[in-house]
Structure 1
Amino acid sequence: MKKFILLFTITLLFSCQNSAQTNKEQEAVMNAEPVEVSLKNGKARAYFASGCFWCVEAIYESVKGVEESISGYSGGYTKNPTYEASNTGRTGHAEAVEIIYNPNVVSFETLVDVYFASQDVTQVNGQGNDRGPQYRSIIFYQNEEQRNIILKKREALAKTLNVKIAADVYPFQKFWVAEDYHQDYEKLHPNNPYIRNVSIPRLKRFKAKFPKELLKVSH
């Protein structure tokens, strides 16, 4: 079952915003120039962090035009992060997904819509009972066009809901692929208690409110 980590002793180190440790290494990541990932075989890549990657992976794979969703880590300052290390909250990384998609079928703009439609947009440093900086919400941009799309959608959503949106916006730097046993976890372990009680309900909530014409019949 997914680990639930309650961070009592380190909460004083964080502001009300999503945050990893406030140190020079993390600030450098947040202020870096974005790295743009080239198309490969006509497919583009986008990167999102939104709580447990087991949940997010399945959500994006339910969207037409998404070829694959890979679980991993991004947004931090340590090299070769592992699941155990990221769970300490001391790597700066968040659980993230790499979305491989066909830009002729689905746009980056729609992928951002999927992101906001599939989470509690107000929760800081986590989703549901998955709490801590490793579960914080981050949208990664690779160029100024993507950054503008994200900021405009975040601002519009904040005005519509009259709330503060918790998601941070980071320049993409690098995506570290997670351990093999994390990949396609929802598909391979449908009877896992976390999948049954958290991942699948979250997926169903998303699919119930997202336009049906943008969703696959099955994922």
Structure 2
Amino acid sequence: MGFDLDLTLADTREGISAVYRALSEETGVPIDTDAVVRRIGPPLEVEIGYWFPPEQVPEMTARYRAVYADIAIPATAVMAGARESLEAVRALGGRVVVVSGKNQLDTERTVRHLDFPVDVVVGGLFGTDKGAALREHRATAYVGDHLGDVDAARAAEITSVGVATGSFDVAALVDYGADVVLPDLRAFPDWLTRRYDGRNPNGHQEGRPDGYSDAVPDVRG
């Protein structure tokens, strides 16, 4: 079972805001951290590009990553229902694969900080680029808060499970075509139990998981 990290499993909003405040103080460049957290998901360079000219993006990206571990990770919290969701996958004999747009090192650090029971961690991928990793690790579904996570599941030809805990609400995720939409991860264990009916969620690499239906997405909330 694949999971996104930021705003799916990990509440990184306060930590990310703190890093951008530090960059603003160092450089004198005003940064609207509320706008930043509303856009969490795409590659870091994209967000940095909203605040700094193109020639400064590599330097500011490197500076952000240099201070992230000390500033952001201690402020990172567990999203509601995240731990229970991971445990539910494990209880069915499944493996947990985290595939994130965050760079590999900070993805690993965040998973360790939150003590998540994870089998595989893959960082530095966004949108359809996540598809290859999901296929490689035989995920049968991918859970995420961003429209890019729906794209990731489509690229891997697996079930997309949207959670409305990031920038996109239930309606937006439904309109984009997520196969399943939940208000947050607190609804995930029940969906997982019904979806797999006690079967191991580890699946084959090609195509939709056994029992997949093209029915209207399961929307709660």
TM-score interval (norm. to shorter): under 0.3
Provide the TM-score with structure 2 as the length reference: 0.26
Provide the TM-score with structure 1 as the length reference: 0.27
More helix by share: 2
Higher RCO (C-alpha 8 Å, min separation 6): 1
More strand by share: 1
Larger Rg: 2
